[in-house]
Amino acid sequence: MAKSRTVALLALLLAATAGAATRPQYGGTLRVETRQNAQTPDPPPLLGPGFQITRWEAGKLAVYEADENAAGGRPFLNTVEIQLGRTLRDQASDLDLGKADVVESGPNDVRRPVAGRKTWSSLPVRVLALVCSPRLEDPRIREALALAVDRAAIHRVLLQRQGEVSGALLPQWLSGYAFLFPAAADLGRARQLSPGARPITLGVADPAARPIAERIAVDARAAGLAVSVTAQPETADVVLLELRIASPEPAKALTQLAAALNTPAPARIDSPEQAYAAERALLDTFRVIPLAHLPDVYGVAPRVQGGPGITPSGEWRFENLWLEGVRP
């Protein structure tokens, strides 16, 4: 009898303890870091319903606080601090040292899993592409460059298989026809097109993307193109860019990408065929050479609960997150 009571008490205690561990807690400050370097007076996008911005230092810091009167109820978190302009290396370091709770993850972080650390990943929502400046006039050279790049090697090694190789602007999950755009390298054809090419400069602003640029230079060299990598994209012949797919609708996404790439806006798109034709028109001149589509990947500290904090399209949704071990 006593034994059965003891077991019952122990069961109650365990149940109570388990409930405390999984139950959302109010309070605490979620520290987020991002590479984004918004110099504009406008603060970065909202974190979803329930937060309002209370402090904005352009390019450095944004502080959001929970809205007690939010329509869907008050978020668990009291505050979200977002530090801007942090490199991937700094972010990884801050996460390791416990100075940050949510950081962006690069491929290197993906291949170094840390015990207890969580990862949030979206669908491929960013396109990695080479964008040729008007100075690179010869379409044969642009095509040679497009054919020279070994996207598979970049995807396998440098991107650690994050995202997907692509020759299209819109990802397969969004357009459904991305596979129609060739992504395989053809060094033989590239070598046929490259004779007479002048040296080309490849600009890359993000140091994290420099290895990709270096690899592109190696591939181009194998095709007979002399490509040198520079950190000044504004003066380069070709720029390695990462563009976000801003809309889940192909037509809007394509239009926004065209605007971002400073190319003519596609005509009205009402069907997948028109979208394909518009994208084909954008890519036929090889002014834009898509390389891969990449997801948003975040490394998350173990104390962050209630995730994932991003949607499949990569938007932040922090209203359901809470921090373990904080006092209300």
Partner 1 sequence: MSFRARLIVIFTVAIVAAIAVVDLLVLGSTRQAFERSEEQRANALVLQFRKEFDRRRAELVRTVNAIAASDATRNIAIQPDASPYFDYAAPQAATHDLQMLELVSPDGAIVSSAQWPARFGYKEDWLTTGEDWQARGAFLRREELPDGMTLALTAVSTASEGDRRLYVVGGRELDREFLSTLVLPQGMRVLLYRNLDGRFTPGDLIDSAGPAGNAAQLRPFIELVQAERREHSRMIGTGAAAENFHAVPLPALDGTVLGVLLIASSRAELAALESSLLRTGVIVAAAGILLGIALSWWAAARVTRPVRRLAHSAGLVAAGDWNATVEVSSDDEIGQLARAFNRMTGELTAQRERLIQAERVAAWRELARRLAHELKNPLFPLQITVENMLRARECYPDQFDEVFREGASTLLAELAQLKLIVGRFSDFARMPAPEIQNVEFNNLVAETLRLFTPQMEQAQVQLVTRLDPAVRSMPVDPEGMTRVLRNLVLNAVDAMPAGGTLTVTTAAQPDGVRLEIADTGQGLTPEECARLFTPYYTTKSHGTGLGLAIVQSVVSDHGGRISVESDKGRGSTFRIELSAARPQG
Separation between Cα atoms, residue 300 and residue 114, nearest integer Å:
10
Tallying the residues shown for the chain, one arrives at 328
* Pattern 182-221, partner 1, x by CB under 8 A: -----------------------------x--xx-xx---
| Candidates 77-85, 129-137, 155-163, 191-199; binding stretch for partner 1 (CB under 8 A) | 155-163
DSSP reduced 3-state for 65: strand
* Bridge-based pairing state of the strands 304-305 and 322-323: antiparallel
Q: Which is nearer to partner 1, 53 or 110 (CB)?
A: 110
Query: Given CA atoms 131, 42, 306, 35 in this order, what sign does their dihedral have?
Result: positive
Q: How far is the CB of 121 from partner 1 (least distance, A)?
A: 17
Q: How far is the CB of 93 from partner 1 (least distance, A)?
A: 17
Tell whether residue 160 is a contact of partner 1 (CB under 8 A).
yes
Among 89, 135, 156, 198, binds partner 1 (CB under 8 A): 156
Residues 39-68 binding partner 1 (CB under 8 A) are none
For residue 239, which of 144, 141, 134, 157 has the smallest C-alpha distance?
Answer: 134
Q: How far is the CB of 306 from partner 1 (least distance, A)?
A: 31
Tell whether residue 242 is a contact of partner 1 (CB under 8 A).
no
Beta-carbon contacts of 240 under 8 Å, excluding residues fewer than 6 positions away, are 128, 129, 130, 202, 203, 204, 209, 212, 213, 216, 233
Separation between Cα atoms, residue 201 and residue 235, nearest integer Å:
8
Among 153, 187, 205, 260, binds partner 1 (CB under 8 A): 153
User: Footprint of partner 1 on this chain (CB under 8 A)?
Assistant: 108, 111, 150, 153, 156-158, 160-161, 211, 214-215, 217-218, 222
